[in-house]
């Protein structure tokens, strides 16, 4: 497996473990329904999520007040469109902060100075 494929695989695993945060980040850019969230995930990480993964998580995020849903569409084709709440934005900000600190700690602890990518360098 090439380094690019390993990085994409690792990225997808981290994204799955932080799926609630990924969804909040998608919704910070604007309201979306479940199918569009899944399409964004597929485009970003190379594979989609099952309905049994995404919809229970959306319901949980809504129950906890991080997102709110609204039914839209006509009587034949209704969709629940989700938007991020202020509580969700606060959660996203605090998670970004924690991830940044964790990344710096891992870099200092486990990656030798000469192996660290330069700031601004994009990995494959």
pLDDT at 124: 47
Quickly name the fold that domain 3-115 has.
Arc Repressor Mutant, subunit A (1.10.10)
Residue 120 pLDDT: 54
Local mean pLDDT, 10-residue blocks, the chain (124 residues): 68 80 96 96 88 94 97 87 98 94 85 63 50
Distances (CA, A) of 68 to 7, 57, 96, 101, 107: 33, 13, 21, 29, 36
With CA atoms as reference, report the closest residue to 44 among 68, 72, 74, 14. 14
Cα distance between residue 20 and residue 92, in whole Å? 9
Please state the pTM of the whole predicted model: 0.77
Where in the chain are the domains? 3-115
Residue at token pair 């469109």: 81
From residue 39, give the alpha-carbon distance in Å to each of 32, 35, 36, 62, 113: 10, 6, 5, 20, 38
The DSSP H or E segment spanning 82 is strand 79-84
- What local confidence, expressed as pLDDT, does residue 114 receive? 64
Contact 66, 87 (CB under 8 A): yes
């Amino acid at each position: 497996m090439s380094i690019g494929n390993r990085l994409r695989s690792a990225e997808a695993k981290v994204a799955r473990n932080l799926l609630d945060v990924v969804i909040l980040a998608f919704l910070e850019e604007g309201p979306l329904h479940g199918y569009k969230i899944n399409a964004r995930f597929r485009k970003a990480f190379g594979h989609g999520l099952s309905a049994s993964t995404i919809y229970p998580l959306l319901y949980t995020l809504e129950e906890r007040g991080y997102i709110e849903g609204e039914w839209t569409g006509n009587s034949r084709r209704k969709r629940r469109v989700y938007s991020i709440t202020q509580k969700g934005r606060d959660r996203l900000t605090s998670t970004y902060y924690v991830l940044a600190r964790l990344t710096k700690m891992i870099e200092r602890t486990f990656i030798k100075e000469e192996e660290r990518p330069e700031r601004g360098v994009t990995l494959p």
